[in-house]
């Protein structure tokens, strides 16, 4: 498999996006001498970024260890089994809580109220990750405003948001020169980011298409969550910085599952660790980006770029990452991802790291003592503190009123999941999570992996939990004001007990 025996340095995975700034000067075959396409992300714009962690890990993950998804006293399996269980727990931890879902609904409602007050005939629709439920704690909200204007009211909308105190000065950008003009803003109240476009109906159809594939492939959301976090922390998740969009990533995952060498019924209970490693191997080593395009419609297949170019309009050529739009065959979804080679290299490095970690001869394959998933994915302290601040600050926020478009998707999150607290660090363990992982069923989005116990035992555990919760709530209420001040003023974070994870 042409893999070196030596283990990969974790810092190598975090230097990919540094190389991205220096190497990419060509976009779709055209030279860019002015470097206008180089990444221009602000230094503190991405809470999830792990830039600099190789040299100064204490500044990025020093407080919470970078592995808050791991459950205390849970006996993880060895090697690939432990990796599968970690992915399950990562998905459970990173999935939005009810409060996180509710604050996004509140943001949408306030923005919609302003837009409708100005243009009563306009419609505000939600698309993207909020509509599908596949959003990370720091993900943007994608909105589209449908109406009739002689000129798009980008600057008018910017002025209204500033007057209604939705954003702070400098917290809103108007990208009127982009191929798809949008308004980017950060909500002043919740610090949630929003992208607003106009008259782009394909986004809503694309979200519904993804939801259909999620029903066909139940493992798709869990695979997407890990890969989205992987790209996010390396600043490779934005098209305008050379990365690949969430939509492109999801289509790549769908194509991978469609052309997988196992029957579809076996994918429902497949090992997530195996799927992740094989995905990274495919797009990090084996896939021919120069000649091959991706098609997911009609069951999915690979297509030659020469064949696809015949159907493209206006003389466009297939890009390096060529993904046929399932809703419009003449459109290339990946045409703006000019830094796809950096993404490819990151996938390759991650493939080597995970393959070495699950090797039976590797001493660090004991997932109970060492985190295997953390070799490619980390959750920064800023993200953990932000999520706790959201839970403390908005836990009593009411749901949007009837008629709000966000209410249509309020049942996506929380209906099948039990409420989850983020107040404890390093772990989100449940009452029954200490049992052995051998022979246990894969955990679902809202269940512990070891919840097959007698009903009476559950009642006793619930009673003990209630007493503990009553005692802990007193301490949490006394600390809540201090936690809020700590986040807002950016003072030194609170020290909490956590499960120590050694990284091999």
CB 116 within 8 A of CB 122: yes
CB 248 within 8 A of CB 339: no
- In a 3-state reduction of DSSP, which class is residue 156? helix
> How is residue 174 annotated by DSSP?
E
Compute the distance between CA of residue 61 and CA of residue 384 in angstroms, rounded to an integer.
10
Q: Which helix (H) or strand (E) holds 227?
A: helix 220-232
CB atoms within 10 A of CB 300: 17
- Of 310, 319, 191, 183, nearest to 248 (Cα)? 319
Supply the pLDDT for residue 444. Answer: 35
Supply the pLDDT for residue 407. Answer: 64
Mean pLDDT, all residues of the chain = 77
Supply the pLDDT for residue 402. Answer: 63
Task: Kindly calculate the radius of gyration of the chain based on its CA atoms and give it in whole angstroms.
Answer: 23
CB atoms within 10 A of CB 394: 15
Contact partners, residue 446, CB within 8 Å, separation at least 6: 92, 416, 417, 418
Compute the distance between CA of residue 30 and CA of residue 28 in angstroms, rounded to an integer.
6
Sign for the CA dihedral angle at 437, 438, 441, 442 comes to positive
Please return the burial class of 1, using the count of CB atoms within 10 Å of its CB with bins 0-12, 13-18 and 19+. exposed
- Of 98, 111, 110, 104, nearest to 190 (Cα)? 104
Compute the distance between CA of residue 491 and CA of residue 497 in angstroms, rounded to an integer.
19
The DSSP result for 304-320, as a single string, is: EHHHHHTT-STT----S
Between vectors from CA 51 to CA 237 and to CA 6, what angle results, nearest 5°? Answer: 100
Q: Is the pLDDT confidence value at 478 over 70?
A: no
Q: Is the pLDDT confidence value at 11 over 50?
A: no
CB atoms within 10 A of CB 82: 25
Total number of residues shown for the chain: 504
Q: What is the mean pLDDT of residues 379-391?
A: 96
Strands 328-332 and 322-325: antiparallel
Q: What is the mean pLDDT of residues 88-93?
A: 96
Q: Can you read off the two tokens belonging to residue 47?
A: 């809470």
Per-residue pLDDT band at 29 (split at 50, 70, 90):
very low
Q: Can you read off the two tokens belonging to residue 213?
A: 């594939």
Q: For the segment 195-242, what is each residue's pLDDT rounded down to a tens digit?
A: 999 988 888 899 999 999 999 999 999 999 999 999 999 999 988 788
Lowest mean pLDDT among 107-111, 132-136, 202-206: 202-206
For residue 308, how far is the Cα from the chain centroid?
30
CB 339 within 8 A of CB 243: yes
Q: What is the mean pLDDT of residues 266-291?
A: 93
Per-residue pLDDT band at 503 (split at 50, 70, 90):
very low
Q: Is the pLDDT confidence value at 79 over 60?
A: yes
> How is residue 365 annotated by DSSP?
G
Q: What is the mean pLDDT of residues 249-254?
A: 96
- Of 288, 212, 296, nearest to 258 (Cα)? 296
End-to-end CA distance of the chain: 22
Lowest mean pLDDT among 53-67, 270-284, 372-386: 53-67
Q: Can you read off the two tokens belonging to residue 83?
A: 């990796």
Q: Can you read off the two tokens belonging to residue 12?
A: 């190598």
Q: Can you read off the two tokens belonging to residue 413?
A: 């999150």
Q: Which residues pair with 328 in a beta bridge?
A: 325
CB 79 within 8 A of CB 393: no
Per-residue pLDDT band at 45 (split at 50, 70, 90):
confident
Compute the distance between CA of residue 220 and CA of residue 145 in angstroms, rounded to an integer.
29
Compute the distance between CA of residue 232 and CA of residue 348 in angstroms, rounded to an integer.
17
CB 12 within 8 A of CB 206: no
Q: Which residue has the tokens 């992300």?
A: 41
Query: Percent of the chain, pLDDT > 90?
Result: 50
Contact partners, residue 333, CB within 8 Å, separation at least 6: 245, 247, 248, 251, 323, 324, 325
**Global pTM?**
0.74
């Amino acid at each position: 498999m042409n893999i070196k025996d030596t283990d990969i340095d974790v810092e190598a995975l975090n230097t990919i996006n540094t190389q991205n700034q220096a190497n990419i000067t060509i976009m779709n075959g055209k030279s860019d001498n002015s470097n206008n396409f180089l990444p221009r992300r602000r230094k503190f714009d991405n809470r999830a970024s792990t830039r600099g962690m190789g040299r100064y890990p204490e500044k990025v993950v020093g407080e919470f260890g970078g592995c808050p998804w791991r459950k205390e006293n849970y006996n993880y399996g060895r090697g690939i089994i432990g990796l599968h269980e970690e992915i399950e727990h990562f998905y459970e931890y990173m999935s939005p809580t009810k409060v996180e879902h509710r604050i996004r609904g509140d943001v949408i409602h306030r923005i919609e109220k302003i837009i409708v007050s100005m243009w009563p005939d306009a419609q505000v629709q939600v698309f993207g990750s909020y509509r599908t439920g596949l959003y990370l704690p720091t993900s943007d909200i994608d909105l589209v405003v449908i109406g009739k204007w002689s000129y798009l009211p980008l600057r008018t909308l910017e002025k209204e948001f500033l007057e209604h105190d939705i954003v702070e000065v400098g917290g809103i950008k108007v990208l009127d020169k982009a191929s798809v003009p949008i308004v980017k803003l950060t909500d002043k109240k919740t610090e949630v980011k929003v992208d607003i476009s106009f008259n782009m109906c394909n986004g809503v159809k694309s979200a519904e298409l993804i939801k259909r594939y999620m029903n066909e492939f139940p493992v798709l959301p869990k695979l997407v969550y890990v890969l989205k976090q992987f790209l996010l922390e390396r600043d490779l998740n934005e098209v305008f910085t050379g990365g690949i969009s969430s939509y492109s990533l999801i289509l790549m995952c769908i194509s991978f599952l469609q052309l997988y060498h196992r029957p579809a019924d076996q994918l429902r209970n497949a090992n997530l660790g195996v799927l992740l490693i094989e995905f990274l191997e495919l797009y990090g080593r084996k896939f021919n980006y120069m000649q091959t395009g991706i098609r997911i419609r009609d069951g999915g297949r690979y297509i030659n770029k020469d064949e696809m170019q015949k159907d493209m309009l206006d003389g466009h050529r297939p890009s390096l990452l060529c993904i046929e739009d399932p809703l419009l065959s003449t459109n290339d979804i990946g045409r703006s991802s000019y830094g796809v080679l950096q993404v490819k290299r990151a996938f390759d490095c991650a493939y080597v790291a995970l393959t070495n970690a699950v090797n039976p001869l590797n001493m660090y394959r004991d997932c109970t003592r060492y985190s295997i998933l953390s070799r490619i994915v980390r959750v920064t302290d800023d993200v953990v503190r932000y999520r706790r601040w959201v839970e403390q600050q908005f836990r009593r926020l009411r749901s949007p009123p009837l008629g709000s478009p966000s209410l249509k998707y309020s049942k996506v999150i929380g209906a099948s999941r039990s409420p989850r607290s983020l107040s404890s660090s390093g772990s989100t363990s449940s009452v029954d999570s200490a049992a052995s992982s051998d022979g246990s069923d894969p955990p679902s989005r809202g269940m512990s992996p070891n919840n097959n116990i007698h009903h009476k035992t559950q009642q006793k555990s619930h009673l003990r939990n209630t007493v503990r919760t009553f005692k802990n709530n007193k301490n949490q209420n006394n600390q809540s004001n201090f936690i809020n001040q700590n986040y807002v003023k950016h003072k030194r974070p609170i020290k909490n007990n956590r499960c120590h994870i050694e990284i091999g």
